[in-house]
Homo-oligomer: A and B are copies of this chain.
Amino acid sequence: MESSLPPSTAAKPSAVQDRVRRAAVELFANQGYANTSVQQIVEAAGVTKGAMYHYFRSKDDLLFGIYEHLLTLQREHLAAIVANDSPTAERLRAACLDVIGTSIEFLDEGTVFFRSAHMLSPERQLEVKHRRRLYNDAFAALIEQGQREGIFRSDIPRAVLVANFFSDLHYLPQWYSPEGPEAGSLIAEQLTDLFIAGVTTTDETSGH
């Protein structure tokens, strides 16, 4: 949207590059990676194949770029939140709100992220898996701390608790569609509420 600025401004990531990326994300999200031809992408972006292959080494590069973007973003956000010195419950809440918010902001990217992981080259699949695991572990560590403090229930394996939250991120692109401007953060709060409600210790779940 800031593409209407005079071309003199800022470091250009090349208009072509950007348009190809945007077109690719949208097409991948709507038709799947394997079902989208390079020809379609360049047509949607209004460039030629030669131009595209000038900036990207392969179709796979285009796909991996999406993962790279989201993974980096989420890692940075979570690291910042965890580093806070607020109470565990608040940090968990902040982490949930943030990652749901991000997922809503990048809905198409999320769709591709969760649907097309198996289309990446094997090495890159490993890379993605690894970095996802790091995120997962950092998140799980938050929950573990809460469990030690006695505020989160311990009668259910931590892996299940974590999966129960991550599932919301997975499913989000499948049912959420942006309506109002604020609707996004509202959904984020509601889903976070539900998760926290499920994970918080109650009389029945405290000790076991």
Q: Is A30 an interface residue (CB 8 A)?
A: yes
Question: Which 7 pairs across A and B sit closest by C-beta, in order of nearness?
Answer: A34-B34, A167-B171, A198-B198, A167-B167, A194-B198, A197-B198, A170-B171
B residues near A30, Cβ cutoff 8 Å: 118
In the complex, what distance in Å separates the CA atom of A194 from the CA atom of B193?
Answer: 12
Q: Is A51 an interface residue (CB 8 A)?
A: no
B residues near A197, Cβ cutoff 8 Å: 197-198, 202, 205
Nearest Cβ on chain B to A96's Cβ, whole angstroms: 12
Contact with B along A196-208 (1 / 0, CB 8 A): 0111001001000
Q: Does B35 contact A118, Cβ atoms closer than 8 Å? A: yes
Q: Does B32 contact A156, Cβ atoms closer than 8 Å? A: no
Q: Does A32 contact B171, Cβ atoms closer than 8 Å? A: no
In the complex, what distance in Å separates the CA atom of A106 from the CA atom of B187?
Answer: 31
Contact with B along A169-201 (1 / 0, CB 8 A): 011101110000000000100110111011100
The 9 sampled A-B contact pairs (Cβ below 8 Å) are A33-B34, A160-B191, A163-B168, A164-B191, A166-B175, A167-B167, A167-B168, A167-B171, A194-B198
Q: Which residues of A contact B (CB under 8 A)?
A: 30-35, 114-116, 118-119, 156-157, 159-161, 163-164, 166-168, 170-172, 174-176, 187, 190-191, 193-195, 197-199, 202, 205
The answer, among B32, B118, B161, B187, for a CB contact under 8 Å with A160, is B187
Chain B residue nearest in CB terms to A156: B190
B residues near A119, Cβ cutoff 8 Å: 32, 35
In the complex, what distance in Å separates the CA atom of A170 from the CA atom of B115?
Answer: 11
In the complex, what distance in Å separates the CA atom of A156 from the CA atom of B198?
Answer: 14
Nearest Cβ on chain B to A177's Cβ, whole angstroms: 11
A31, A115, A119, A167 pick with most chain B CB within 10 angstroms: A167
Chain B residue nearest in CB terms to A32: B118
